[in-house]
Structure 1
Amino acid sequence: MVAFTLASASALVRSHPLGRGLSVLGKVMKLGYEPDVVIYTTLANGFCIQGKLCEALSLVYQMVKEGYKPDVITFTTLVKGLCLEGRAFEAVSLVDQMLKMDCQPDIVTYGIVVNGICKSGDCVSALNLLMKMEESGIEADVIIYSMIIDCLCKVGHIDNALNLLGKMDNDGMVPDVVTYTSLLNGLCSFGRWNDVARLLREMVKRKITLDVVTFSGLIDALLKEGKFQEAKELYEDMIERGLVPDTITYTSLINGLCLQNRLDEAKQMFDFMISKGWFPDAVTFSSLINGYCKSNRVDDGMNLFYEMSQRGLVANSITYTILIQGLYQVDNLDAAQKLFLEMQYKGHHPNVVTYTIMLDGLCKNGKLDQALELYSKLEKSRIDLNIFVHTVMIHGLCRAGKVDEALQLFNRLLEKGVKPDVKTYTIMISGLCGKGLLYEVETLIRKMEEDGCCPNDHTYNALIRGRLKNGSTSIVVELIREMRSNGFSVDASTRGMIIDMVSDGRLGKRFMDLLS
């Protein structure tokens, strides 16, 4: 009778709502039977599955209070619950507590907590856990090693990841395709193609077959580096091996073709993937829409947007933002604003990128008052505005001839502790030069130097044109020489200005020598 009742409680917790499990447990206790560690652990697991971690922890605390000793399964249940809620560091503390209570974590426990720590990007803690495992005589498996290697690669510690691969070899642990895929993706991200080739040879030597995920990662990396031919050859190699490209593979190829402005081929690839039974997802659609918009084929982009809806796919904020930018580029202000409103109506919250595009579009289309109104609302909101947003407004004010207002906004940024970048400084310098406010220009250049912000070619060209307009020819000579010593050269606009001024006698012919 006792065994049957306790088993019933356990089964109910696993297969029915948690409340019924607790109800049976209550009945069991009323009948005078004692629950055991298994029952408490099963109930705690039920709480964790339902996201009620506090109740799970309270139950285990009650269990200890009743004189029961949690076992490794109990602790592992709580560790998993903490990790599921993103509380990996508390899970690490719980593992330390296990050791103090003479309860040895097993490889399952360590695997769960290492996974949680790696997802948070804390490679140091993950490596410390690996060390603790070794000290406890528990041998990490290839899954744990792969998780840590993946974490190291994602935070840019590629050499440490390669060292850990070497440690696996020394310990007689054979890496699998997942391990190598993480390393290959990391190496590709940093353009270490020689190491990529070496690892691929190593995989062949070890008879580790590349899978679709590995191929897709490599193809994507090559395309982002502009190595389209190499990516195409890898795609063909993939087909020859009998591997079937998936949505991720096709999306990478479509994006790569769009980057090369080969939009018709990208659309052919899009149609081809559908013919092969792979349906484009929101990322695929957004990649092709982005390609169309960058080439000012916004109507084609909008048609794809409507097709998304017809296929039951929900456009995300990225898709909306791409289209809004495209519509502004082709001066379709009304459609851009309509889509912006639709985006919010559909429950997609505009992010700082969307707002930057909106402000830029309004400014460039002569709607400065609307831009200032939106900017004012954003300043009062909780959105963390970056320097790009402020720079767009400074540029908009300068373009409209409101340089004094632009300078006021620029100075307010300094008061708020927002650090302008070289683009912000250059726009402000250009605006001041256009108004002949050379004293303010000098003040701004000194501030730029104090901030450790180095001028770029745009800054120099803006200064040179400003000085030429105001007849400061001796300073122009110094600026051009300084500019060339820093590896920059005059742009087409500055060159044209100098040639015109030499032609009509406002500048001496020696200035032509400076252009050579």
Structure 2
Amino acid sequence: MRRSITTGFASIVKKGFHLHRHRLQISNHGASPTLSLCGFCFWIRAFSNYRKILRNGLHNLQFNEALDLFTRMVHSRPLPSIVDFTRLLSVIAKMKRFDVVISLFEQMQILGISPVLYTCNIVMNCVCRSSQPCRASCFLGKMMKLGFEPDLVTFTSLLHGFCHWNRIEDALALFDQIVGMGFRPNVVTYTTLIHCLCKNRHLNHAVEIFNQMGDNGIRPNVVTYNSLVSGLCEIGRWSDAAWLLRDMMKRGIQPNVITFTALIDAFVKVGKIMEAKELYKVMIQMSVYPDVFTYTALINGLCTYGRLDEARQMFYLMESNGYYPNEVTYTTLIHGFCKSKRVEDGTKIFYEMSQKGLVANTITYTVLIQGYCLVGRPDVAQEVFNQMGSRRAPPDIRTYNVLLDGLCYNGYVEKALMIFKYMRKREMDINIVTYTIIIQGMCKVGKVEDAFDLFCSLFSKGMKPNVITYTTMISGFCRRGFIHEADALFKKMKEDGFLPNESV
């Protein structure tokens, strides 16, 4: 027999889901405005039309129109039914204006409009998707004071809230409470928890819940599978993800573009380009059409393994199929060409991107700068760098690091040191990568003593050198014949817990 909701909720509170006394701030939309006679007649006509709007459906309603309709409804006499108010709250909730739904619900209560459980569940869902976690437990308590026993929908919303706020332990405890109170979790409840666990890389636990779901006779849907497939692919377990694809097809559950894209992306990341392309063909045969993310994943894989002409063909195939590349797609292809020292091809695509009306971002510019540095043209790289500010793509620390590394690599160490000095003067957030690049540059031109001074200053700045920093400095000492200093630094590196690499 199902335990009482009150007992169950009390148990939840003991586990840490304490009610918070929190009063919502409500704007006084319900107050009657002072109207002229002409204005009063207008409002009378407006109020009489709200039923017509409700009859015609609310699907195409804009946000401002929805608020206007609510105002008409609360001024209408007799008041509309709670069913009509609930329909309107549901529409506003679908617009993701969760705080507005909560505020309107509070106004309804002030006006004496009594909700039903369905209304409360809509509001609970909004509360759990809002930015204030403490409201959820508070609203659950309010529901019970109003005489409503929360149902599975209520608790699933609360579960979603805990997942949304990354309170995984609370979500797991609530799930156990739901079962303990005699509820039978449905596919939405299970999928909510599985998605949360996958997102936070608790894949083994997610698979356990998935198996439990099957044991309890709950059939997973495509969203359940997508959560697991994406999660497994994210941590490199592509073979398990591929098994899930076969399993869902065996059960007659049609995979969608999200399923295929996650797997294609996973395959290309481990170099299985042929398998990724075969999967692409399978999805076409199943009338599951790729989107911009699918094409970008394939292009990324082809670029990673130097198959640039195939990547470009895929890029143009994407356009011919009516899918327009976005900034990420363009940047991926530009990076592929630049990394392979085909900078001219990368630059052509860069200008083509601009002609299509897409604005290059900081990452795109950084990729192009890196390309010019790789082919020994740091002067052009610096020209591109200088354009960034006026093109609304300000350089970040990675851009600076790429430029500094390129300048040092091409023998322009003095220019790199000038930029480094400028960065320090502006108190930029310089990281260990930046310092390592400069130390390497100094060592390269024989300024080993200056490099070691900079190395020693890291500790006073609260920054710890990594294995690459140590290796760079040790190599600098060895090149100058300072073997004693190199040996002392090698011992210090081991004391700091770094294992020497082959270079050392």
**TM-score, normalised by the number of residues in structure 2:** 0.76
Corresponding letter in the other structure for 1:205: K
Q: Is the 8 A contact 2:238 2:263 kept in 1?
A: no
In the alignment, which residue of structure 2 is the partner of 1:291? 336
1:346 aligns with 2:391: yes
1:172 aligns with 2:217: yes
Q: Is the 8 A contact 2:264 2:280 kept in 1?
A: yes
Q: SS in structure 1 opposite 2:360?
A: coil
1:240 aligns with 2:289: no
In the alignment, which residue of structure 2 is the partner of 1:160? 205
In the alignment, which residue of structure 2 is the partner of 1:260? 305
Aligned mate of 1:274, from 319, 337, 349: 319
In the alignment, which residue of structure 1 is the partner of 2:492? 447
Mapped partners of 1:143, 1:330: distance in 2: 54
Q: CA deviation at 1:393?
A: 1.8
Q: CA deviation at 1:292?
A: 0.3
Higher helix share: 1
344-353 or 212-221: bigger deviation: 344-353
Corresponding letter in the other structure for 1:187: L
1:129 aligns with 2:170: no
Per-residue displacement from partner, 1:126-163 (whole Å, max 9, x unpaired)? 32333343345444332332232223223221111110
1:438 aligns with 2:483: yes
Distance 1:94 1:406, change over 3 A: farther
Q: CA deviation at 1:121?
A: 4.1
In the alignment, which residue of structure 2 is the partner of 1:467? none
Corresponding letter in the other structure for 2:493: M
Q: Is the 8 A contact 2:327 2:359 kept in 1?
A: yes
Q: Is the 8 A contact 1:48 1:56 kept in 2?
A: no
Q: SS in structure 1 opposite 2:388?
A: helix
1:360 aligns with 2:405: yes
1:182 aligns with 2:208: no
Mapped partners of 2:486, 2:456: distance in 1: 13
1:320 aligns with 2:365: yes
**TM-score, normalised by the number of residues in structure 1:** 0.75
Mapped partners of 2:118, 2:208: distance in 1: 33
In the alignment, which residue of structure 2 is the partner of 1:144? 189
In the alignment, which residue of structure 1 is the partner of 2:375? 330
Q: Is the 8 A contact 1:44 1:57 kept in 2?
A: no
Per-residue displacement from partner, 1:172-200 (whole Å, max 9, x unpaired)? 11011222222223223334355335423
Aligned mate of 1:417, from 451, 455, 462: 462
Q: CA deviation at 1:201?
A: 3.7
Mapped partners of 1:133, 1:65: distance in 2: 32
Mapped partners of 2:463, 2:411: distance in 1: 27
Distance 1:90 1:344, change over 3 A: farther
Per-residue displacement from partner, 1:425-469 (whole Å, max 9, x unpaired)? 10011112223333432332232122111111111xxxxxxxxxx
Point out where structure 1 has 5 or more consecutive residues left out of the alignment: 460-516
Corresponding letter in the other structure for 1:131: D
Q: SS in structure 2 opposite 1:458?
A: coil
Distance 1:104 1:365, change over 3 A: farther
Q: CA deviation at 1:122?
A: 4.0
Q: Is the 8 A contact 1:98 1:104 kept in 2?
A: no
Mapped partners of 2:189, 2:418: distance in 1: 53
Mapped partners of 1:58, 1:207: distance in 2: 43
Q: CA deviation at 1:422?
A: 0.9
158-167 or 127-136: bigger deviation: 127-136
Corresponding letter in the other structure for 1:420: P
Corresponding letter in the other structure for 1:128: A
Q: CA deviation at 1:117?
A: 4.1
Equivalenced residues, count: 453
Distance 1:431 1:263, change over 3 A: same
Mapped partners of 2:92, 2:246: distance in 1: 47
Aligned mate of 2:354, from 301, 309, 313: 309
In the alignment, which residue of structure 2 is the partner of 1:195? 240
Corresponding letter in the other structure for 1:353: R
Aligned mate of 1:90, from 121, 131, 134: 134
Point out where structure 2 has 5 or more consecutive residues left out of the alignment: 1-42
389-398 or 219-228: bigger deviation: 389-398
Mapped partners of 1:451, 1:287: distance in 2: 38
Mapped partners of 2:91, 2:284: distance in 1: 45
Q: CA deviation at 1:301?
A: 0.7
Distance 1:84 1:441, change over 3 A: same
Per-residue displacement from partner, 1:374-430 (whole Å, max 9, x unpaired)? 334544667544322221122122222222222122222222332221111100111
- Correspondences of 1:39-118 after superposition (within 5 Å): 53=99, 76=121, 79-81=124-126, 85-87=130-132, 89-94=133-138, 96-98=140-142, 101=145, 103-118=148-163
In the alignment, which residue of structure 2 is the partner of 1:474? none
Greater relative contact order (CA < 8 Å, ≥ 6 in sequence): 2
11-20 or 439-448: bigger deviation: 11-20
